[in-house]
Structures are given as structure tokens and as C-alpha cells.
Structure 1
Amino acid sequence: MYAVVGLGNPGEEYAHTRHNAGFMAIDRLAADLSVRYWKTECGSLTAKATIGGEDVVLAKPQSFMNVSGGPVKQVLSTYRLKPDRLIVVHDDLETPAGAVRVKKGGGHAGHNGLRSICDKLCTHDFIRVRCGIGRPPGKMPVAKFVLADVRKRDLEELEAECDEAAQVVDFIVRNGLDKAQRRWS
């Protein structure tokens, strides 16, 4: 079994922000898998599905991004999973907008959601599907950039990227991390 966690912030006011790329990708994956039932457990909205014969639990932590490590740890504990069975989908400033990248391990690069997960799990060794959002324009503060509603033309690009991230998760579960990294590194 895999735990597939999308990072974001709960609430309608954050639904169309760059910081919610993880939630958007999980929603797309759930739609692709015909998921109809979500429940609240482990501080998250969760749903069970199957990808290529492999069971997965989809999760969207309902804490704010900066403290998402607690709910992620609860999901792993509840489903008796080790961090090597965790796939985290998140926004990434260092990846160009529109690009999706896959990696395992590494630092958090200042991403507070990843920092929280690393701190709670006491490891950096989990799979990340990074949705590129690029750097803020000019001197715009990062927090304003990631939490502002995305303009319509940029939202279409972000949605397409999140669709691809959902496909990447499906590919990882079906074909393994090594093949995915060769394709989306």
C-alpha cells in the first residue's frame, strides 16, 4: 500500500492558489480513480483506491501547510506504512512553472510543509512529486505569491500541471520510482 498525500491549505479561500497544487493533484487522481467517498481521519480527508492492483490511501491534511507533518505521520501510523511508501505531491518554487519532477529524499528547500513532514517523520526519505510554480515575479514576497489566487490564464496551466502530477503518481505506483525518475527528473 502507498499513502499519497497532497499538500495544501484547507478552506475555499485557498482552493485556487499555487500552494494548493498538491490538493488539486489529489483531487484529479481521485476523479481518475472514480473515488466517491472521502472520510475524515488522521487529521486529513482520506479515500481508498486501487492503482494497478496496488492499494493506495489518498490524503489531504486538514491542518495548514506549515503543520502538515502531524496528519501525515498519523496516516502512516494508522495504515502501518513506512516513509518509503509515502508519496507527497506539493508545489515547488525551484521547479519551473508547468513542470513536474519526481525525486526521493533530499532537503525541504524552505518548503514549510515538507519541513514539517521531515521533522515529524524524522526522515527525508520519501517520494516527492513536485509541481513547479517558479519564483515570484519581481520583488513579490513568496508568501503572497503562493497564497494569492491564480489568474485565469495561469490557473489553466496549473490545473494541467496538476493533472500531469496525478498521472505521475499513477505511473510511480504501477511502474516504480526508478522509471518515473528517468521520465520526470
Structure 2
Amino acid sequence: MTADSHPAPLSIRLARADDPGEIDQLYDICVRTAAWGRDASGLLAEHRLLGDIFVGPYLACAPDLAWVLATEEVQGTPSQPVGYFLAVADTVAFEDKWEHEWWPRLRAQSPRRPVQPGSPDVWLHSYVENPPRTPADITSRYPAHIHVDLLPEAQGNGHGRRLWTTAIKALRSRGVPGVHLGVAARNTNAQGF
């Protein structure tokens, strides 16, 4: 982008959950925002595993509630994701499906490898082996949950709120009474959202 140019317009569309290239791009966004909203590329040895935990299950289990914020396709230049907003209407059912369908396959594909003690990869492997369950006192009041990541160039211009509105409309149309979102204490940008 030159000093004279304007940022490419961004639009919201459903994720292409059956497109391996787009899945790779969304996994990359996950890594580039994993360090409390900043790039974790230099912190992780296993980039793919992060996406397998925090993006892949949503695309596989709830593709109709997976949106991408992307540049618009212009004159043959394909649309490029710069963020995503993933939701599930029923967290308990999602976690059950995750446990019975997603985790066994992932565990078989990613046998425990030696990792640097104290590295974030230790946490990733621990998460796969013993994934947390959302407490019932949360899911009883807020059965849906969301996962959102926006690259820095997509932050601060109301795009997150546009994605939020899109997701909430879809969840309300399904009769969902509440939504929860977990945010790391160190991710101050997301807390402001």
C-alpha cells in the first residue's frame, strides 16, 4: 500500500470451511494473534497445533457460524482473510462432539513429541490431552460461545463490532439466550472490544 492508497475495503462472509487454503490462512491468523492479540510465530514450534485447537473444530462442527473478515475480491485478486469470528450455539454439545470426534483424531495425528520445557507448546499439548470443559454455571446461562481474532490492520475500525452483530443475529435466530467469551487478562485490546 502506498501513501496515496486507501486500505482495501473489508467485507464479512461465511468462512470457506471446505477450502484447505482458507483454513491455512485462518490458522495463520490464529498464530499471528495468539500472544494476547500479538504475533506468536516466534513463540511456538507447532503453529498448526494452535489452529487445530482454536479454529479447526469450529470450522468442522459449526461452519454455518464461522465468519471471515476479508478484503474484497478485486479484478481476479482473491479475497484475503484478515480476521474471523467463530461461534457455536450450544457449547456443551460442541465440547461433547469435540471430545468424541475432534480430539481423538488430533491425538492420533499429533503424538506427544518432546517439547522445550516451559514453552507454550507444552501448554498446547496439555490442552489436547486434557481439554477444559466450560463450567455448567456459565453454559446454563450463556450456552453459546465465540472465538474471535483480527489481525492488527483490521482492528480499531468497527470491524469486530460488525462481526459481533452478524453472529448475534444468527444466534438469536436460533433462539440462543446468551453468549460467553473468554478473554486472557493480558489481552487488553480484546477486553476493550
What TM-score results when the alignment is normalised by the length of structure 2?
A: 0.27
The structure showing larger relative contact order (alpha-carbon pairs under 8 Å, at least 6 residues apart) is 1
| Larger Cα-atom Rg | 2
What TM-score results when the alignment is normalised by the length of structure 1?
A: 0.28
Q: Between Structure 1 and Structure 2, which shows a larger proportion of strand residues?
A: 1
